[in-house]
Amino acid sequence: MSLLELRDVAVSYRIPAGEVPAVRGVSLSLAPGEALGLAGESGSGKSTLAMALLRLLPRDAEVTGEILLDGEDVLAMKWGRLRAVRWASASMVFQGAQHALNPVRRIEDQIAEPMLVHGLATPAEAKRRVAELLEQVGLPAWRARGYSHELSGGQRQRVMIAMALACSPRLIIADEPTTALDVMIQAQVLQLMRSLIAEHEVSLIMISHDLSVLASMCDRLAIMYAGRIVESGPAHEVFAGASHPYSRALAAAFPTVGDPASRLAPQGLGGDPPDPLHLPTGCSFHPRCPVAGPDCASAEVELWPANPSGSHTAACVNVRSEVAP
């Protein structure tokens, strides 16, 4: 059975000008121990979707569909049950750790808090567990008494990971966990996450706009555009052989050093993400698409199989015509 299953999840924000659809019908499932990478531009809905999984969105956001965590619908949970699920079953590593940590509380108290709140440990046990967690994430134990401003960016991100692990959750959602970090520190943090996930058999949803990082961390990738998944499949297949033109543009944006094709030839994608209040007709990507045909402005697109087994799907009319019988 899958650990997490999303059925037709939609999120819209109510603003004076109307309803802004941020996520428009996303279905996906995640097996225990599996790592899924969620990629897309700012405004594609990837962070909104991640926040919706634990109902962390503000009140003006309306979430519909089903979010089944271990078979139980998160959207139908009572407040007390939801509190129990947060941190203990699923936890979150936010982007920008300097803002996510409380500047006036000691590191050890912040890591211990979810354990104490959930009654999973006595204060003495929590203290031991904090020391153990700090060691696992590679921070010296004396840092426990310190404050977040005394730490470097990489160290703060390690504290965030220690917090996420504190209650031994089965799912970790990491939103841009290494953005804003230097390459070497990013490599350290990713290596740490990789080993912790393997050791603790945790499932991971990792969000980033850097496809190459996601491909190196995840089993599967899902690419979002204008609130929908436009391509999904085995990580390496999607990264190296994307079927959707948008995924291809994302993959090409970060060059492979040494690849003659990208030398003195940076590749971007023209245009801007669509305004969610005025989405283009047909395929939402068609105004920016380098290979759009005459039908794309009117065609209804859905995720069609992009490989024979159907483990790789893409929402592009070219895929339908290629693979369909």
Query: Contact positions toward another protein, by CB under 8 A?
Result: 41-42, 152-155, 180, 182-188, 191, 209-213, 215-216, 249-250, 252-259, 262-270, 272-273
Query: Using an 8 Å Cβ cutoff, are 269 and 249 in contact?
Result: yes
Burial code (b: 16+ CB inside 10 Å, e: under 16) for 266-275 equals eeebeeebbe
Output phi, psi for 212, to 5 deg.
-70, -35
Q: CB-wise, 252 or 317, nearer to another protein?
A: 252
Output 191 or 321, the one with its CB closest to another protein: 191
Minimum separation from the CB atom of position 105 to another protein (A): 23
Least distance from another protein to the Cβ atom of residue 257, Å: 5
Q: Can you tell me the distance from the alpha carbon of 151 to that of 238, in angstroms, rounded to the nearest whole number?
A: 37
CB of 39 to another protein, least distance (A): 8
Q: Which CB sits closer to another protein, 33 or 96?
A: 96
**Nearest Cα to Cα of residue 37 among 164, 241, 174:** 174
CB of 126 to another protein, least distance (A): 28
Q: Residue 282 is encoded by which pair of tokens? A: 């047909």
- Judged by beta carbon, residue 182 or residue 322, the one nearer another protein is 182
Question: Is residue 301 within 8 Å of 317, Cβ to Cβ?
Answer: yes
DSSP character for 279?
P
Q: Are the beta carbons of 33 and 203 closer than 8 angstroms?
A: yes
Closest approach of another protein to the CB of residue 65, in Å = 27
Our CB check for another protein shows the closer of 238 and 250 to be 250
Which of residues 204 and 250 has its CB atom nearest to another protein in the complex?
A: 250
Give min distance, CB of 109 to another protein, in A.
24
Query: Mapped to the 3 state alphabet, what secondary structure does 105-139 carry?
Result: CCHHHHHHHHHHHCCCCCHHHHHHHHHHHHHHCCC
